[in-house]
Amino acid sequence: MYGIKADWVIERKPRVCVLEDYIGAEPRWCPGCGDHAVLTAVQRVARDLQLLPEKTVVVSGIGCSSRFPHYMKTYGFHGLHGRALPVAEGIRSRRPDLNLFVITGDGDCCAIGTSHWIHAVRYNMDLTILLLDNNIYGLTKGQTSPTTRKAERSYTHPKGSFFVPINPISVTLGVPNASFVAQTIDWNPSHLYETIRRAHEHKGTSFVRVFQRCPHYSSHVFADAQNDPSRILLMTHMKGVAVPDNVTRMFPNRMEHDPQDLDEARRIASREDVFAIGLFYWNPSAERYDKITQEGLGTPPRKKLEAIERALDHFAV
């Protein structure tokens, strides 16, 4: 009762999120699709870092990979084709407190969304971008994408693609103010998990390309690398992606690469004889545009109105 002294208090137990707190709708991807592995890795990262579901947002565009927000029990935004990044940037500019993941595909990001991709890297707002690259338009049933290899057959190029493909890592490394550029594979859960976790912990735009298998339209593209680990070049460094020793030993082809060496990162990215995985480049001191867009967030409505009035006064005749 009110006024009676009590010798006890109710202690609130600390909240602990478990994996089920991040599992949304049942995925409708095909069996064997690499998207399943990426989804599991993101859910594990969210659990291990204790990212509150109500403080986490997954933004996507259009494509197989872009169904991702439906399968996370967090907030999500399933946007238009190629437009995931400006949506995520808008969210970040107003909500610095949220955890933001952007899921995109090679068609979504590297074709219709190219300009947004380039400028998102340049703005270096705090986003974790996962490019799930299967070298094909999978959702629309097998058309040539910007990363499809030359001479590769598809429904739009039955005699083989005419073009040299875009290299998303090389392009990203060529954008001024890039701050985190990495690459991984969907068939090694440990490296995939550690790369995404390292990317999310980075403050700035983290761009991660995932070599992602499509069992129906491009299963052969990564088959050699999956069956022969020597086709993969594992980049190691104390500042890079850390994996357990037993995982490191799985890859006989390894090299020590300092991720703050941009020139070397570009040289490795241009290699076509191996699939290089790890952290290509890391610049924690790169400028962040979200620090500018967040200015004035706490301004009272009255002050905002006064500022608008002052601005309009400049146009008075």
Strand pairing report for 180-185 and 275-282:
antiparallel
Query: What is the chain's alpha carbon radius of gyration, rounded to the nearest angstrom?
Result: 22
Q: Containing domain of residue 250, as a range?
A: 19-313
**pTM attached to this predicted model:** 0.92
Distance, in Å, from the CA atom of 213 to the CA atom of 216, rounded to the nearest integer, reads 9
What's the rounded mean pLDDT across residues 237-254?
96
The pLDDT-based confidence of 240 (bands split at 50, 70, 90) is very high
What's the rounded mean pLDDT across residues 305-309?
90
Here the CATH number for the domain that contains residue 145 is 3.40.50.970
For 81-121, the pLDDT digits (tens) are 999 999 999 999 999 999 999 999 999 999 999 999 999 99
Q: From residue 163, how far is each of 147, 209, 274 by CA, in Å?
A: 9, 20, 20
Whether 145 is covered by a domain: the verdict is: yes
Which ranges of 7-135 would DSSP assign to H, the alpha helix? 35-48, 84-94, 106-107, 114-123
For 32-53, the pLDDT digits (tens) are 999 999 999 999 999 999 999 9
Q: Is residue 95 within 8 Å of 77, Cβ to Cβ?
A: no
Whether 188 is covered by a domain: the verdict is: yes
- Measured in degrees and rounded to the nearest 5, phi and psi for residue 102 equal -115, 125
Whether 13 is covered by a domain: the verdict is: no
Whether 295 is covered by a domain: the verdict is: yes
Whether 11 is covered by a domain: the verdict is: no
Whether 281 is covered by a domain: the verdict is: yes
- Both tokens of residue 237? 């460094």
The pLDDT-based confidence of 3 (bands split at 50, 70, 90) is low
Q: Is the pLDDT of residue 166 over 80?
A: yes
Whether 239 is covered by a domain: the verdict is: yes
Whether 10 is covered by a domain: the verdict is: no
Total structural domains within the chain: 1
What's the rounded mean pLDDT across residues 290-302?
89
For 117-163, the pLDDT digits (tens) are 999 999 999 999 999 999 999 888 889 899 988 888 888 889 988 88
